[in-house]
Chains A and B, each alone.
Chain A
Amino acid sequence: MSSVIPVSHLQTLRMSIYRFDPSIDDKPYMQDVDIEVPTDKDIMVLDALHLAKAKEPSLSYRRSCREGVCGSDGMNINGKNGLACITPLSEAVKRNKLTLRPMPGLPVIRDLIVDMKLFYDQLEKVQPYLITKTDNPEKERVQSPEEREELDGLYECILCGCCSTSCPSFWWNPDKFLGPAALLQSWRFIADSRDEATEERLDDLEDAFSLYRCHGIMNCVSVCPKGLNPTEAISNIRNKLISRKRQ
């Protein structure tokens, strides 16, 4: 355990946290929790949540790796989706207040925990795995360094859901529009030189909703904690669909 921080190096931060326990509450409410944070170093929003939980033990949220890899602590931080574990307070706090809500657009299970089923259902539709038709080679399916480079900026997605739940098109039609995360994964496999189901993948995106509901708002790009660009991936798929039409 870290050493005790002198009182003179602490300041009070007011956290306003979305609370909802369906077994007790009729409707959600915002709860203010004052915590003491150090002034001489920057801590992450997740650390602040731990301090708040010490005061309010019933507060619930997901967390695991606490280093931006597992993607489990995606939440709405002062109005913008992000990962609590890699968002420093210095970046998140506005007017000495930190407001935390669950990621918008998905049903709330409890407090900051959302039901990700809709999100995963859409991911499943794009078949996020390599599909091959030819016989397996003796060793492995080889790929040149250039072909491998095509996947940079695509494979790094950790499926935290920050992008899809910041997208208005996903809010309105979460069952029809696949959302930026699933579409990024779709392009990841369309762009993969080893995949042999490009035509089928494109066929599945031809309808008016699955892909074309993206209006290029770019909220997904703005919030992605890994700095990825789902809008560009969507645009690449769209270009492929249009060029296919010309042939």
Chain B
Amino acid sequence: MSVKFFESGTNEFIIVRACAMLMFLYIIYLIYFIVSTPSIDYSLWKTFFEGFVTRIFSSLFLISFAVHTWFGTWAIGSDYFTPARLGDLSKIVYSSYRIFCFLVISVVLIWSLLIIW
């Protein structure tokens, strides 16, 4: 039995963990900045986030966050919105839920990237 790229559990597992690792590194990066800077004011904070490296890193974090959330919400939806629980309604409830998730994730991602850049 061969499965397509996005239907592969192994691919999903690796992608989710890679995103989690990237988000973890980003949090470490932020903590390092906060801890290593004696007194942070608005201008310093602004300068930090306008730096090229921080912008790239923030963008990667946001993309990872979006991907992680997409897979996470898929797992929740496919657990709870099943035919066994919702009968004939399951398909429409599940599809509506995924569209809702897609819209929210997309809006948050695009909006955040616009703010960063």
Q: Which residues in A have some Cβ–Cβ distance to B below 8 Å? A: 168-169, 172-174, 203-213, 215, 238, 241-242, 245
Contact = CB atoms under 8 A, between A and B. Distances in A.
Interface residue SS majority, chain B: helix
Given A206-B1, A207-B3, A241 B78 contact: no
13 contacts: A169-B79, A172-B82, A203-B2, A206-B8, A206-B10, A207-B7, A208-B8, A209-B9, A212-B13, A238-B13, A241-B10, A245-B11, A245-B14
The contact size tier of chain B is 10 to 19
Interface in B40-86: 75, 78-80, 82, 84
B13 A204 contact: no
A204 B14 CA distance: 18
B12 A208 contact: yes
Given A209-B9, A241-B10, A204 B1 contact: yes
A206 B82 contact: no
Interface residue SS majority, chain A: loop
B14 A207 contact: no
Nearest to B71: A208
Contacts of A207: 1, 3, 7-9
A173 B82 contact: yes
B13 A172 contact: no
Nearest to A245: B10
Interface in B1-42: 1-3, 7-14
A212 B79 CA distance: 13
Contacts of A215: 75
Contact of B9 (A168, A172, A212): A212
A211 B9 contact: yes
Contacts of B79: 168-169, 172-173
A242 B1 contact: no
A245 B8 CA distance: 11
Interface in B68-106: 75, 78-80, 82, 84
